Structure formats: structure tokens, C-alpha cells
Chain A
Amino acid sequence: MGAIELKGVVKRFGPITAVNGLDLDVPEGICLGLLGPNGAGKSTTMRLLTGQAIADEGQLRVLGYELPAQSKPARSEMGVVPQLDNLDVDVTVEDNLAVYARLYRVKDVASAVDRALDLARLRERRRDAVDKLSGGMRRRLLLARGLVHEPKLILLDEPTVGLDPQIRTELWTLIGALKSRGTTILMSTHYIEEAERLADEVAVMHQGRIISRGHPAKLIAEHAGTHTAEVYAAPERLTELRADAEAAGLRVRPAGPAIAIVGSEAAAEGVVPTDAVVRAATLEDVFVLLTGEEAE
């Protein structure tokens, strides 16, 4: 049994189809990165899994519970870390955790709070109001709040969006620790590096459905080959080079001020200019090729 099993899920908002025939299985014990551009349907998928959106079509099963009918017991065994900070800012760190321990029906609230404080490394700040904490501490607290009841499954919705690199690295360490305990994680993100570092498997979501899935290395090999050549030049020359590469059967994507010729190892001599910077293919190449969107 998978921790999450979605089959043919459709969710519409008026004329917009946010989730469009989504099939997704998340086996127990893995970290699946749901990678997609803004508007791909990641947040709607998260809301469907927490019962805050009801699917128009399809079947959803989480931890063996059918949604939406059994959403409540399913939620009791999963933890959610939202994209937006919705902590109670005037309340102390420990009271924030205690409230959610009660909401999750934890029997020993005091022990659960202590455990969560240790996880977030906030034991010394337990009696401080949340608005006295730094941004990184608040984010760690948000993660600890989602784990206060030791869930079997955790949903991380863009866990590091808008954070500076140092805080992001701190959170990655915490999420890494969760993975090593065997907690099943579904993490939506549009940060390529986050997906590469943390996810056992990546599912690329675009226009409401999964368009490719696998281990990051497998996805790269499947869609981007081994090498990518980046060419920096004047726009006119880039246009010419792009046309030549595409005529030679190669895939080309924009890369800011440059173009990236993907799978350049297969290029015939002369197609890749000698001044190109050749590097190993990345998940970003795959993401941009599949979705047509610039990665972050």
C-alpha cells in the first residue's frame, strides 16, 4: 500500500482546471519531490490531500483512508508544513506547539512539545513569543509544529520558499533527518536544488498532471543526456546557433542570457561552438525542457 495513491484526480475552479487527471503514488518511506512551475497544480494537490479542496473526479487514498470521506483520520496521521507562516505570533513557542499537539489528540502534550522543541532546536526560546524569533527559527518552528504528533506522512508545501540560503540549508538538514527516520515525505517545490538534494524521486508536474517521474539521475539521463553546452553570445548569433542545433536534432532551451544545447555529447562536430561552456546535464535542464518554464 502506498502512503498516497491518487488516480485520475481532477480539480476545477470555474473555467480553470488546476489538477487535470493526476495519477500519483507515493510509496511509504520515500521523499518525493513534486517539482513544477507556479500554477502547475502543486498547492491544489496539497489542499486535496488535506481535505481543504474536494476533487471533482478521481480517487484519493492517503495512508489507507479514502478521501474526502475519511479525511479526518487521515489528517490525524499526517503532518503539514504550509508555504505561508501561519504561526500565532503573540503566543509563546511552546504554546504554539501545545495547541497543535492537542488538535492532533496527542496524549502526552508536554513530552510532545519537548520533543518538537528539540527537533527545532528552540528549547532555550520556548517561553518567547514567536514574533521575537528570527525568520529561520520561525521556519523551524513551523516544521516542528507539523511534526509534533510524529506523523507517518508529512506534506511540505514549498518549505523554503522566500528564505535566504543559510536558513534554507538549515531546513534541508532537518528534512534530511526526517528522511533518515523513514518518514514518508511529499514535498512540493519549484527549487531545482531542493528537489535534487532531498528527493529520492522527483515528479515533474505541469498543467495539473505528472509529466515525468523518477530518480533525479534517471530523469536527467532520460531527458537531458549527459552534457549540456551553454553558449553566451549576442542575440543574433544565439538565434543562428539555436537554429543550427535544432536542425541537427538537438534540443535547445533558453538559459537567461545564453542558450543551453541539451545532450550536446551527441552533437555532430561543428554544431556546438568551441567557445561553449560544456557542463554535466542537470535536473534544471530536464525541468525547463519538459515544462518550458525557467527554473529557480
Chain B
Amino acid sequence: MSAQPETAPAPRRTMRRLEPAAIAGVMSREVANFRTYWRGTTFSSILEPLVYLLAFGLGLSATLVDEVEGVPYIQFVGTGMVATAVIFSSALPAMFGTFVKHRFQNTYEAILAAPVDVEELVSAEMLWIATRSAVYGCVPLVVTFFWGLDPAWGMLLVPFFAFVTALGFAGFGVAMAATVAKIDQFNYVTALFVTPLFLVAGTFFPIDGLPQFFQVIAQANPLHQLVELVRGGAFGFEWADLGRFAFLVAFAVATWRIAIRQMQKRLID
């Protein structure tokens, strides 16, 4: 009698892409770590935009500029500073945090040994950074209430706008971290991208005062779109804001996919 061929039993589990449990697991690691350092991060995330707000908003409104576009200058800057808070609390932590976790702490090697794939890992990192950034981004707006900014219903959308923009910049930061060879190379990223985006966002002065070329460039700047949306929330929306929001969503989706592709190359041999 011939021996029966051995039949492997059917695999017991199937797992999908982008499983919420995997994303929640990665985020729970971030939360556990955040509990150990939240004081320092929160302090700097609140203080930094506050210093800009006081220096530019109070300093310039007391000496040079009284109003811009019919809005008191401090309120003009205060609403614009949301974008500054968002980029500083999303792009920079994404760049440095991702680089350190990958190259120095080998954290991703441990996470990817569990049933988590690169797509889930990157998505979780972006979601966590964007959540934090949405909270920190609202600080300048809240502070500006003390300088006469009237609350408006549209402002309730500001955390949401900040979240979507921060998703995009978190993706940008993760993609950069997966692309650079050494941590010093972030100096180029900051000088070439982060600082110009922050300065040409319409935070401190209206974009339409710039030369035509810079006005066109500014339209492609997600931070400028965020500034306009926040001001829409504070002083009244216009139809163009729908387009601005769609632009931010597209920016977030594009950087999400690029970040996944770059991290896939970096993490999987």
C-alpha cells in the first residue's frame, strides 16, 4: 500500500491590509512613550508659537501695522500661527522621530516582527503625529482670544483642518527620514523646505503683497491653504475654501503613499 501524501493543513488565519488593530497597537506604543515626555514636548509646542505671536503680533501691531485686510494685526497673526504650530509639531517630529526609531533604537525591526506591515506602521505614525499636532495647532487660536478674537462656529473645524495638514507634513517627515542617509542632512530639508514653507504661508503678511512668482508658489504651499482655512473659520468661509481643503487632503494622501514607499525601501531588504 502506498503512503498517503502528507497534506499541509490550511492556514488558520487571514489578515487584511491596514488593520485597525495593528494601527491602534503601534499608536499605543506612541502613547506609552508620550506619557514619559509629554511635558517637554507640550511646553515647547505651546511656547514656540506663543513667542512668535507675541513678537510679531504684539511687536508689529504696536509699532508698524495696525490692521491687515480689515483684521487687527495680532488676530491676523494669531490665526496664521496655527499653521506654524502645525508644521513645527508634525514635520520635525516625524523626521527626527522616525530616523531615531529606525536607525538608533531598532524599534521598527521589533514592530515589523509582529503582524504589522510597513503600510500600517507608517499610517499609525502619521495618525499619531497628526492627532498631537491638531491639538497643539489650536493653541495660538485660543491664545488670540485674549487679544479680542471673537469665537466663531467655523473655528470648530480648525482642529480638523490642522489634523489633515499635519497628516501631510507627518508623511513628508517620514518620507524624508527614510530618504536621508545621515541625521545632519535634515539641515538641508529644514532650510530648503520647512523654513520657506513657513515663511511664505501668509502667516505674518498677506501673500498678495508678494511678487507674482511667489504668489503662485504660495498657492502650492499647504501651509498657506491651512492659514486661509483657519482665517475662513475665524472670519467667514468662502467657496474657494472647499478647493483649499481638497488640496490639503490630496497633499496628505500623496505624502502618505510616498512615505510608505520610501519606508518600504528602507525597512524591507
A residues with CB within 8 A of B: 1, 11, 13, 44, 47, 50-54, 61, 63-65, 70, 72-73, 75-77, 80, 82, 84, 86, 88, 90-92, 95-96, 98-100, 102-105, 129, 145
A55 to B257, alpha carbons, bound, how many Å? 24
Q: Is the CB of A105 within 8 A of B21?
A: yes
How many whole Å from B93's CB to the nearest CB in chain A?
A: 16
State in angstroms the CA–CA spacing of A145 and B111 once bound together. Answer: 11
Q: Are B25 and A102 touching (Cβ within 8 A)?
A: yes
Taking a contact as CB atoms closer than 8 A, the residue among A73, A102, A103 that contacts B11 in the complex is A73
| Cβ–Cβ contact B8 & A99, under 8 A | no
- A99:B109 contact, CB within 8 angstroms: no
Q: How far is the CB of A138 from chain B (nearest CB, A)?
A: 13
B residues at A contact (CB < 8 Å): 6, 8-15, 21-22, 24-26, 28-29, 32-33, 35-37, 105-107, 109-117, 267-269
A213 smallest CB distance to B (angstroms) = 21
Q: List 18 A-B contacts (CB under 8 A).
A: A11-B269, A54-B269, A64-B9, A64-B10, A70-B11, A72-B15, A72-B116, A73-B15, A75-B114, A77-B12, A82-B113, A86-B107, A95-B32, A99-B29, A104-B114, A104-B115, A105-B115, A129-B36
A100 touches B8 (CB 8 A): no
A47 and B269 contacting across the interface, CB-CB below 8 Å? yes
Closest to B9 in A: A64
How far, in angstroms, from A73 to B15 measured CA to CA in the complex? 6
Residue among B10, B15, B105, B110 with max Cβ neighbours from chain A (10 Å): B110
- Known: A98-B28, A99-B28. Is A53-B268 also a contact (CB below 8 A)? yes
Known: A13-B269, A54-B268. A99 touches B25 (CB 8 A): yes
B175 to chain A, nearest CB (A): 20
Cα A84 to Cα B102 with chains together (Å): 13
- Name the residue among A44, A61, A80 with the largest chain B CB count within 10 angstroms: A80
A64 with B8: CB separation less than 8 A: yes
Other-chain residue from B21, B29, B109 in contact with A52 (beta carbon distance below 8 A): B109
If A52-B113, A90-B33 are given as contacts, then 9 extra A-B residue pairs at C-beta distance below 8 Å, sorted by A number, are A64-B8, A70-B11, A75-B113, A86-B106, A88-B105, A88-B107, A90-B37, A99-B25, A129-B36
Name the B residues within 8 Å of A51 (CB-CB). 112, 117, 268
Point out the residues of chain B lying under 8 angstroms from A73, CB to CB: 11-15, 115
In the complex, which residues of chain A have a beta carbon less than 8 angstroms from the beta carbon of B106? 82, 84, 86
* B112 to chain A: closest residue by CB: A52
A82 and B110 within 8 A (CB): yes
> Do B11 and A65 have beta carbons less than 8 Å apart?
yes
Collect the chain A residues with CB atoms within 8 Å of residue B28's CB: 98-99, 102
Q: Given contacts A52-B268, A53-B268, is CB(A86)–CB(B13) below 8 Å? A: no
Residues of A within 8 A of B110 (CB): 80, 82, 86, 100, 145
